[in-house]
Chain A
Amino acid sequence: AQTVTQSQPEMSVQEAETVTLSCTYDTSENNYYLFWYKQPPSRQMILVIRQEAYKQQNATENRFSVNFQKAAKSFSLKISDSQLGDTAMYFCAFRGSWGKLQFGAGTQVVVTP
């Protein structure tokens, strides 16, 4: 069974600064997808970024980028130029061949002025 571990319960960052969230996972599969979701207080889960395991190039979406280390089974998210609207819970998720999403416990990001 796959497991997803987020070891940082909470991260605080000042506006315009950069914060990096860590995520590790365990799987025996070779082809899979990894995701970062954002959940603001409104509770709606929003997809931030996705990474296909077969792609060596790290995914980037505007201020969000990932560092995917397949051999180490590590998938960190970097938020650059942090904005107050980035305050939310961030969940790392894994999807393997069965298609089922497995989420980590989440990291609360707080952006301060």
Chain B
Amino acid sequence: EAGVVQSPRYKIIEKKQPVAFWCNPISGHNTLYWYRQNLGQGPELLIRYENEEAVDDSQLPKDRFSAERLKGVDSTLKIQPAELGDSAVYLCASSLGFRDDEQFFGPGTRLTVL
């Protein structure tokens, strides 16, 4: 069974530029998560999708971050414009359901904003 796929693995951009990350969850997983992991810290949830609906986006900085999950499968997380403080690893995870199901993580995208 294929795991969670993310691309790109690395991205270097200058501040004020836009950037997008892509995630393909495990087939059949209805719940998809985007986390941000700052250096030396644990991941923090940005947004959770149940199928195509964003049901928890309270930690997403909505002035510059946006996300979508068209057709309830793949998802894209966008930052526009990027700031220096956005440098982090962005992890995508998926699970069958929400409350009691194990979350499977992708390898993440390491973003560096110069």
Contact = CB atoms under 8 A, between A and B. Distances in A.
Interface in B1-29: 3
B107 A91 contact: no
B108 A101 contact: no
Given A42-B107, A45-B105, A99 B45 contact: no
B40 A105 contact: yes
A47 interface: yes
A43 B42 contact: no
Nearest to B102: A47
A18 B110 CA distance: 32
Contact of B108 (A43, A46, A99): A43
B112 interface: no
Interface in B75-111: 89, 91, 93, 98-100, 102-103, 105-108, 110
Main SS at interface, chain B: loop
A56 interface: no
B106 A99 contact: no
A101 B41 contact: no
A30 interface: no
A5 B93 CA distance: 23
A36 to B, nearest CB: 12
B53 interface: no
A44 B102 CA distance: 15
B43 interface: yes
Interface of B: 3, 40-45, 48, 56, 89, 91, 93, 98-100, 102-103, 105-108, 110
Given A45-B91, A46-B105, A105-B41, 20 more contacts: A4-B42, A33-B100, A43-B91, A43-B107, A44-B3, A44-B106, A44-B108, A45-B43, A47-B102, A47-B103, A91-B42, A100-B45, A100-B48, A101-B43, A101-B103, A103-B42, A103-B43, A103-B44, A106-B40, A106-B42
What are the nearest 5 A-B pairs in CB distance? A103-B42, A45-B105, A99-B99, A43-B108, A44-B107
